[in-house]
Amino acid sequence: MTTDTLTAPASAKPATTTKLTGLTNSNTNALTGLTGWEVTKTTATYAGSPTAALQAVQTHMDKVKATEGGRATGYASLIAVRNKLRECSTGASHPAVTVTVKRAKKTTTKTRTGSPAARLTRKRQDTYTTAQLVAALESAWSAIRTNHQEIPAVVVIVGSGTATKRARYGHFAPIRWQHGDNQLAEVLISGEGLKRSVEEVFTTLLHEAAHALGHVREIKNTSRQGRWHNEKFAELAKELGLDTAKDDKHGWSVCTLRTETATTYKAVLAELKSALIAYRHPEVTGGETKKNNNNAVACACQCPRRIRVAKAVLAEGEITCSVCESTFEPDE
């Protein structure tokens, strides 16, 4: 799958096209006749960005499913095309994808040589900042993606892991950030968890990378609002170099770093260790707790968006979030 820009006159703005190559006859037949798509034997070109192409395919899929059902002729081929386009729209680094865009010239501000501002860099500050920490976490994520190219690009943030009633070391949240035409997932590393060893912090990154890999492959690897980790998660974690153990409350969520995995990422661990020079204290909570309403159940998806529904309504069947495509689960 490649993405090219159309040749345009110097006075016009350059247009972007999304070109898929190496398609099967079933793929091209499924795209034939769709508005905006130009199809040949093994290629299909859309007059727009990868995100726009994805939206066009998804809209057509929704129409086909509503009128003919999920087993309609060509529907499976549309799923395959959609999954390729989704890798671009989520910011994934697909080896067969290139995007050409016109970028504005970068302006720089000159700083007087020898001034304090000139001597300070992102990793060398006169006071503590999170710049070095975030840079090391981003570098570690990039190293993981180098070894496992299906894992998407994400926005790495450091925040509280104890602000809610369920403490956590990190989380993976799909479609949380927007960067131009691309939607990016979020990986949070809790400040409280930075008190642990560098191996344990890196294990958390690999843990969230397993969730990211499951999201890209459309593998449901958790339930109960992400608390229960099933055996499919254990398989994903194993693929990334972790060993898992089963916990009665959270399933296969307990992960440990293998010795050979630590050896593979030796340089990454060394860089990350030098950045782990501060950690966050847990939140102090108190006060009255809210009374439970027996007539309704608070539910959340993986976005997370929250809703309240009657127990009888929830018992009738699953309620799915149209944003992250996960099921609303009781927020217990």
For 157-205, write each residue's pLDDT tens digit.
Answer: 999 988 877 788 999 999 889 999 989 999 999 999 999 999 999 999 9
Is residue 140 within 8 A of residue 272, CB to CB? The reply is: yes
Report how far residue 178's alpha carbon sits from residue 216's, in angstroms, rounded to the nearest whole number. Answer: 17
Report how far residue 214's alpha carbon sits from residue 223's, in angstroms, rounded to the nearest whole number. Answer: 13
Decide: pTM greater than 0.85: no
Given this model, what pLDDT does residue 229 score? 94
Given this model, what pLDDT does residue 267 score? 95
Nearest to 167 by CA among 306, 273, 257, 281: 281
Question: What percent of the chain is predicted at pLDDT more than 90?
Answer: 39
Given this model, what pLDDT does residue 124 score? 57
Question: Which segments of the chain have a pLDDT < 70?
Answer: 1-15, 88-126, 285-294, 331-332
SS3 304: coil
Is residue 171 within 8 A of residue 188, CB to CB? The reply is: yes
Instruction: Report residue 243 as tokens.
Output: 């060993």
The single residue listed with the structure tokens 């006169």 is 126
Handedness of CA 238, 241, 243, 246 (dihedral sign): negative
Given this model, what pLDDT does residue 4 score? 43
Report how far residue 167's alpha carbon sits from residue 190's, in angstroms, rounded to the nearest whole number. Answer: 9
